[in-house]
Amino acid sequence: MEIYQRGQAFIEKDGDLEFAFTKLIIKGQNHQYFYATTKDRIGTFSPVDINQLEMVPIPLENIWPLFSDHFSQAMELSSSKYYIKEPNLLSYGDSPATLQSSNEILNEVLVCEILKANPHPNIAAYIGCVVTNGRIRGICLKRYKMTLDERLQDTKAFDRDACLREIELGIRHLHSLGLVHNDINPANIMVDDGDRPVTGWRSTQPNQSQPSIE
């Protein structure tokens, strides 16, 4: 067995953040996964005695949905060209919704497939699903140069008006497909080599009404 993911949780006490526990995701044999918590404060590279942990199994169907032939599959996974978005399992078990994170991934793939069938230069390019043993383990996207937030911190000249116009074009395209973004901000808008903004779709959901752009 090995540590797959780890993270520290904090609670607010008397106006300060206080360490609460460390949460670990453990990968076992035959693609088995477990989660465990400990009151010990375990750092990123600190050794862990897995045998001392009380591990809770994570059913695969709860975290990775089955792949369908109706979906696109990413066959080339070059890290220089593509970004693989994988679920963060550390939130698993924190709330009832996190016990079915596979539903969130499946909904995201469905949105991706709509956008792949209706591409736009100001919408992030989806390549396909990363599949292991018939399950969707990640979403493969085109890799972009930087976020808009990072670009705005650069001292090089930047046409902000043109950027805003192109962001609006991307949003209008989403709306034309019956989708609403829900979370437009500089951190989830990418910028390509030509300073063209490319809107991500992390929080995009189908919507019955067509919102206007304020």
Contacts 24+ apart (CB under 8 A), 147-156: 147/186, 147/187, 147/188, 147/189, 147/190, 147/191, 148/186, 148/187, 148/189, 148/190, 148/191, 148/197, 149/185, 149/186, 149/187, 150/191, 151/191, 151/195, 152/186
pLDDT of residue 209: 44
pTM: 0.81
Cβ distance 178 to 207 under 8 Å? yes
Q: Is the confidence at residue 5, as pLDDT, over 60?
A: yes
Chain-centre distance for alpha carbon 130: 13
Count of residues in the chain: 214
Residue ranges per structural domain of the chain: 2-58, 82-206
pLDDT-based confidence at residue 136 (cuts at 50, 70, 90): very high
DSSP letters for 176-207 = HTTEE-S---GGGEEE-TTS-EEE--TT-EE-
pLDDT of residue 211: 35
| For residues 171-178, average pLDDT | 90
What residues form DSSP beta bridges with 146? 191
pLDDT-based confidence at residue 200 (cuts at 50, 70, 90): low
Tens of pLDDT, residues 91-127: 888 888 888 889 889 999 999 999 999 999 999 899 9
Task: Please state which of the ranges 32-41, 140-149, 201-210 shows the lowest mean pLDDT.
Answer: 201-210
Pick the CATH number of 82-206 from 1.10.510.10, 3.40.30.10, 1.10.8.640, 3.90.1720.10: 1.10.510.10
